């Protein structure tokens, strides 16, 4: 792949992203991704991709960030120590080398070029303002003004500890027959209590639906018991308030309907009553 430098930004020749069965990323790509992902200088924003959240960033931030930082660190003892510990990090002394290093990310499916999906029709009320819906572009290019999304999550100590804890928990459950009788009895009571809470929750869900249907006929628009029960709120907020009236959503009127209805809604302002017209004098030509 050839790389071309421009006065307004670096650009690499386009290429297609590799299939899902691609080989694992090379060490250089992982090292570059970890370097960029761990730096606060690379400002990212959250967007939605196929229902999940992804962090996107602009190519200009990569080029200016890694090039200036690499040139500065290459002359310092700190970078020499870091390179001795991690030889996978490539040397970057020019713009072309920065573009070549960044090309490892889309080739390894660690960061891909994306584009914003323009929404058609009315916007969802639950949509977060400024949060794009994005799609992956089939033609991958590298340029300052293009956007890229991270498809790579570096491993952390939290994930490692969670995995170890999950293995220990599964191993403990497998050894349940060997537990002391008192401990097994306590687990049985705890499981029965959890099943009781789940059953109570299901009964309450059915009861609140029946209550709403009855009150919708008797006391329109209807009453919901625990209206925030299934909303995206905290645990305690799900049970506040105790009840509320059903909110009827009014249909949104488009701009065209508003423009058409505006002349009909205008009120005619009566003209102020002026003084009665005075006598009119007509001149008659004498013959």
Whether 27 maps to a domain, the answer reads: yes
Same domain? 89 vs 217? no
Average pLDDT value for the chain: 73
Residues sharing a CB contact under 8 Å with residue 57, sequence separation 6 or more, in sequence order? 42, 43, 44, 45, 147, 148, 150
Same domain? 20 vs 124? yes
Domain span at 231:
180-245
In total, how many domains does the chain have? 2
Same domain? 141 vs 58? yes
Buried b (16+ CB within 10 A) or exposed e, 206-237: eebeeebeebeeeeeebbbbbbeeeeeeeeee
- pLDDT per residue over 79-113, tens digit each? 566 667 778 877 777 777 777 888 888 888 888 88
- pLDDT per residue over 113-125, tens digit each? 887 777 665 665 5
- pLDDT-based confidence at 229, cuts 50/70/90? confident
Whether 250 maps to a domain, the answer reads: no
Q: Residue 154 in contact with residue 34, Cβ under 8 Å?
A: yes
Whether 42 maps to a domain, the answer reads: yes
Same domain? 132 vs 205? no
Whether 200 maps to a domain, the answer reads: yes
Whether 48 maps to a domain, the answer reads: yes
Task: Enter the pTM of the model.
Answer: 0.43
Q: Which of 119, 154, 189 is the last residue of a domain?
A: 154
Whether 168 maps to a domain, the answer reads: no
If one compares 219 and 44, the residue with the highest pLDDT of the two is: 219
């Amino acid at each position: 792949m050839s790389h071309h430098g421009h006065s307004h930004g670096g650009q690499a020749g386009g290429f297609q992203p590799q299939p899902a069965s691609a080989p694992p990323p090379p060490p250089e790509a992982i090292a570059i991704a970890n370097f960029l992902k761990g730096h606060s200088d690379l400002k990212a924003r959250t967007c939605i991709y196929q229902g999940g959240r992804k962090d996107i960033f602009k190519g200009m931030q990569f080029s200016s960030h890694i090039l200036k930082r690499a040139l500065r660190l290459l002359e310092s003892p700190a970078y020499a120590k870091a390179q001795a510990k991690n030889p996978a990090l490539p040397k970057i002394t020019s713009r072309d080398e920065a573009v070549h290093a960044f090309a490892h990310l889309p080739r390894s499916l660690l960061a891909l070029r994306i584009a914003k999906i323009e929404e058609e029709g009315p916007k969802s009320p639950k949509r977060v303002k400024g949060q794009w819906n994005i799609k992956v572009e089939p033609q991958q290019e590298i340029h300052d003004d293009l956007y890229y999304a991270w498809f790579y999550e570096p491993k952390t100590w939290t994930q490692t500890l969670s995995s170890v804890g999950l293995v220990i928990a599964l191993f403990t459950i497998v050894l349940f027959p060997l537990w002391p009788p008192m401990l097994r009895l306590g687990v049985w009571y705890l499981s029965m209590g959890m099943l009781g809470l789940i059953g109570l929750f299901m009964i309450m869900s059915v009861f609140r639906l029946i209550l709403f249907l009855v009150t919708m006929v008797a006391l329109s628009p209807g009453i919901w018991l625990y209206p925030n029960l299934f909303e995206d709120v905290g645990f305690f907020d799900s049970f506040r308030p105790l009840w509320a009236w059903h909110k009827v959503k009014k249909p949104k009127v488009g701009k065209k309907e508003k423009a058409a209805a505006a002349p009909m809604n205008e009120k005619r302002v009566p003209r102020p009553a002026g003084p009665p017209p005075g006598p009119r004098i007509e001149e008659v030509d004498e013959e």
